[in-house]
Amino acid sequence: MRIKKGDMVQIIAGKDKGKSGKIIAINHKKGVVYVEGLNMITKHTKPSMANQQGGIIHTEGPIDASNVMYLYNGKPARIQYQIVDGKKVRAAKVKDQAAVVID
Protein backbone atom coordinates (compact mmCIF):
# COMPACT_ATOMS: atom_id res chain seq x y z
CA MET A 1 0.00 0.00 0.00
CA ARG A 2 1.41 3.37 -0.99
CA ILE A 3 -0.61 5.50 1.42
CA LYS A 4 0.20 5.98 5.10
CA LYS A 5 -1.54 6.95 8.30
CA GLY A 6 -1.98 10.72 8.39
CA ASP A 7 -2.23 11.18 4.60
CA MET A 8 -5.07 13.27 3.18
CA VAL A 9 -7.12 11.20 0.75
CA GLN A 10 -10.21 11.59 -1.42
CA ILE A 11 -12.85 8.87 -1.79
CA ILE A 12 -13.24 7.93 -5.47
CA ALA A 13 -16.00 5.30 -5.19
CA GLY A 14 -18.91 4.48 -2.92
CA LYS A 15 -21.47 6.45 -0.94
CA ASP A 16 -18.93 9.08 0.17
CA LYS A 17 -17.51 9.66 -3.33
CA GLY A 18 -15.86 13.07 -3.69
CA LYS A 19 -15.36 13.63 0.06
CA SER A 20 -11.91 13.88 1.58
CA GLY A 21 -10.34 13.28 4.98
CA LYS A 22 -7.28 12.11 6.89
CA ILE A 23 -6.39 8.43 7.28
CA ILE A 24 -6.60 7.41 10.94
CA ALA A 25 -5.83 3.67 10.58
CA ILE A 26 -4.74 1.12 7.99
CA ASN A 27 -5.21 -2.66 7.95
CA HIS A 28 -2.59 -4.00 5.54
CA LYS A 29 -3.80 -7.62 5.76
CA LYS A 30 -7.35 -6.78 4.66
CA GLY A 31 -6.31 -3.89 2.40
CA VAL A 32 -8.62 -1.36 4.04
CA VAL A 33 -8.24 2.15 5.44
CA TYR A 34 -10.24 4.14 7.99
CA VAL A 35 -10.79 7.79 7.05
CA GLU A 36 -11.67 10.39 9.67
CA GLY A 37 -15.38 11.25 9.57
CA LEU A 38 -16.21 9.15 6.48
CA ASN A 39 -18.12 5.88 5.98
CA MET A 40 -19.70 6.27 9.43
CA ILE A 41 -21.37 3.19 10.91
CA THR A 42 -23.40 2.67 14.08
CA LYS A 43 -22.60 0.06 16.70
CA HIS A 44 -24.85 -1.01 19.55
CA THR A 45 -22.77 -1.64 22.67
CA LYS A 46 -23.55 -3.14 26.05
CA PRO A 47 -22.51 -1.25 29.19
CA SER A 48 -18.96 -2.11 30.26
CA MET A 49 -16.22 -0.75 32.50
CA ALA A 50 -14.86 1.39 29.66
CA ASN A 51 -18.32 2.58 28.53
CA GLN A 52 -20.62 2.76 31.57
CA GLN A 53 -23.64 4.02 29.62
CA GLY A 54 -23.58 1.67 26.63
CA GLY A 55 -25.92 2.49 23.75
CA ILE A 56 -25.34 3.52 20.15
CA ILE A 57 -21.83 4.56 19.07
CA HIS A 58 -20.99 6.16 15.71
CA THR A 59 -17.57 5.19 14.33
CA GLU A 60 -15.64 5.10 11.06
CA GLY A 61 -16.03 1.99 8.93
CA PRO A 62 -13.44 0.40 6.65
CA ILE A 63 -12.96 1.58 3.05
CA ASP A 64 -11.09 -0.54 0.52
CA ALA A 65 -7.70 1.00 -0.24
CA SER A 66 -8.44 0.94 -3.98
CA ASN A 67 -11.31 3.38 -3.40
CA VAL A 68 -9.15 6.20 -2.02
CA MET A 69 -6.68 8.48 -3.78
CA TYR A 70 -3.91 10.60 -2.23
CA LEU A 71 -4.49 14.38 -2.23
CA TYR A 72 -1.60 16.67 -3.14
CA ASN A 73 -2.41 20.41 -2.89
CA GLY A 74 -6.11 19.54 -2.99
CA LYS A 75 -5.84 17.50 -6.20
CA PRO A 76 -6.00 13.69 -6.51
CA ALA A 77 -2.58 12.26 -7.29
CA ARG A 78 -0.97 8.89 -7.91
CA ILE A 79 1.84 7.79 -5.62
CA GLN A 80 5.09 6.47 -7.04
CA TYR A 81 8.48 5.66 -5.57
CA GLN A 82 11.72 7.29 -6.66
CA ILE A 83 15.36 6.92 -5.64
CA VAL A 84 16.73 10.27 -4.42
CA ASP A 85 20.27 10.45 -3.02
CA GLY A 86 20.28 6.67 -2.61
CA LYS A 87 17.05 6.64 -0.59
CA LYS A 88 13.63 5.39 -1.65
CA VAL A 89 11.07 8.22 -1.31
CA ARG A 90 7.40 8.68 -2.18
CA ALA A 91 6.43 11.11 -4.92
CA ALA A 92 3.02 12.43 -5.94
CA LYS A 93 2.14 12.55 -9.64
CA VAL A 94 -0.72 14.92 -10.43
CA LYS A 95 -2.28 14.59 -13.90
CA ASP A 96 -0.25 16.40 -16.60
CA GLN A 97 2.48 17.48 -14.13
CA ALA A 98 5.88 16.17 -13.07
CA ALA A 99 6.17 14.03 -9.95
CA VAL A 100 6.93 15.88 -6.70
CA VAL A 101 8.66 14.26 -3.69
CA ILE A 102 6.31 14.28 -0.69
CA ASP A 103 8.45 12.62 2.01
Domain 8-73 has CATH 2.30.30.30: yes
Strand, coil or helix: what is 65? helix
Instruction: Read off φ and ψ for residue 37, nearest 5 degrees.
Output: 80, 5
Query: What are the residue boundaries of the structural domains of the chain, listed by start?
Result: 8-73
Residuewise pLDDT in 10s, the chain (103 residues): 899 999 999 999 999 999 999 999 999 999 999 999 999 999 999 999 988 888 999 999 999 999 999 999 999 999 999 999 999 999 999 998 889 998 7
Q: pTM score, two decimals?
A: 0.86
